[in-house]
């Protein structure tokens, strides 16, 4: 079973459209994240949710709206898509209460968004 | 602002050689560091981590060294194989072990490792 799964894997859409990317984790982690990876491979955090509560909200346009219906899901909705939104978006999860030896994140396989 | 960065964007090695990937960080408050490997078309994958109270940690064919004096982190891969070709990221975090939510993992820019047969 995939630990962190996100859909779709590829998304091609026109400027101005609204689209959503879904993410689910079956690891029982409390915290989930969305990261954006640009064409130079730089990974930048966008949002973080802990038990459905927004914890981190970086300087991201308000066209991006995360939704967490439960702690196993964190979806990303993007309104009025722009060319600059083209990137790979990664969902991740972590158990960050100091328990266990792996304090790192488990990432999904990414969603490549192309806005044309 | 404070960030984690890498010295070299690309590294090319011969199969069987040892590889060393370097990372410099500037946040002296960081107490936990992780190396990730990202293969083409996949998400970053955990390789090895180290806490700030350690200066060396070994895994299977990989070793991470931490020099807090100069804020330097390195990943050593022994007997590099073609399957090791990927982008490698170091990442930092703060507050390891604290019961706080909202940890922020900050990534460096990545080093593309190419292993030549």
Residue among B54, B40, B48, B2 nearest B21 (CA) = B48
Residue among A44, A37, A70 nearest B43 (CA) = A37
Q: What range defines the domain where residue A42 resides?
A: 4-115
Write out residues 10-39 of A within 8 Å (CB-CB) of B: 30-31, 33
pLDDT the model gives residue B99: 46
Candidates A42, A45, A50; nearest CB to B101: A50
By DSSP bridging, strand B19-25 and strand B10-14 are unpaired
pLDDT the model gives residue A64: 95
Q: Rounded distance, CA A20 to CA A5, Å?
A: 14
Least confident of A45-54, A61-70, B47-56: A45-54
Residue of chain B with shortest Cα separation from A42: B109
Q: Rounded distance, CA A71 to CA A26, Å?
A: 10
- Confirm or reject contact between A50 and chain B (CB < 8 A): yes
Place of tokens 């807090």: B68
Q: Rounded distance, CA A86 to CA A97, Å?
A: 34
Give the count of domains, chain B.
Answer: 1
Four-point Cα dihedral B71, B30, A31, A115, nearest 10: -40
pLDDT mean over B66-73: 93
- Confirm or reject contact between A96 and chain B (CB < 8 A): yes
pLDDT the model gives residue A50: 83
Residue among B40, B47, B98, B95 nearest B73 (CA) = B47
Tens of pLDDT, residue by residue over B85-105, are 999 999 988 655 454 445 678
Do A48 and B104 make contact, defined as CB atoms within 8 angstroms? yes
pLDDT the model gives residue A54: 81
Write out residues 36-75 of B within 8 Å (CB-CB) of A: 36, 38, 41-46, 49
Residues of A with Cβ-Cβ distance to B107 under 8 angstroms? 42-44
Do B49 and A96 make contact, defined as CB atoms within 8 angstroms? no
pLDDT the model gives residue A93: 93
| Residues linked to residue B33 through DSSP beta bridges, in sequence order | B50, B92
Tens of pLDDT, residue by residue over A32-65, are 999 999 988 889 989 888 877 787 777 789 999 9
pLDDT the model gives residue A18: 98
CA A100 to chain B, closest CA, distance in angstroms equals: 9
Q: What range defines the domain where residue B15 resides?
A: 4-96+104-116
pLDDT the model gives residue A46: 92
Output the domain CATH number for residue A104: 2.60.40.10
pLDDT the model gives residue A30: 86
Least confident of A1-15, A55-69, A75-89, B43-57: A55-69
3-state secondary structure chain A: CCCEEEECCEEEECCCCCEEEEEEECCCCCEEEEEEECCCCCEEEEEEEECCEEEEECCCCCCEEEEEEECCEEEEEECCCCHHHCEEEEEEEECCCCCCCCCCCEECCCEEEEEC
- Cβ atoms of A111 and A7 within 8 Å: the answer is yes
pLDDT surpassing 80 at residue A4:
yes
Give the count of domains, chain A.
Answer: 1
């Amino acid at each position: 079973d995939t630990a962190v799964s996100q859909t779709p894997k590829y998304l091609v859409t026109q400027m101005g459209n609204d689209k959503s990317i879904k993410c689910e984790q079956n690891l029982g982690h409390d915290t989930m994240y969305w990261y954006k990876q640009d064409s130079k491979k730089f990974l930048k955090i966008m949002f973080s949710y802990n038990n459905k509560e927004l914890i981190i909200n970086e300087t991201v346009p308000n066209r991006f709206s995360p939704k967490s219906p439960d702690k196993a899901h964190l979806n990303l909705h993007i309104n009025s898509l722009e060319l600059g939104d083209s990137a790979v978006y990664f969902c991740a999860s972590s158990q960050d209460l100091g328990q266990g030896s792996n304090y790192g994140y488990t990432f999904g396989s990414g969603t490549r968004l192309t806005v044309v | 602002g404070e960030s984690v960065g890498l010295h070299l964007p690309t590294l090319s090695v011969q199969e069987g050689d040892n590889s060393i990937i370097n990372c410099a960080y500037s946040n002296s408050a960081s107490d936990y560091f992780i190396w990730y490997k990202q293969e083409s078309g996949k998400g970053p994958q955990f390789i090895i981590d180290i806490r700030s109270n350690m200066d060396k940690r070994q895994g299977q064919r990989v070793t991470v060294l931490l020099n807090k004096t100069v804020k330097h982190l390195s990943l050593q891969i022994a007997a590099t194989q073609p399957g090791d070709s990927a982008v490698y990221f170091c990442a930092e975090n703060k507050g390891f072990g604290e019961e706080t939510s909202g940890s922020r993992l900050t990534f460096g820019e990545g080093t593309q490792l190419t292993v030549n047969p």
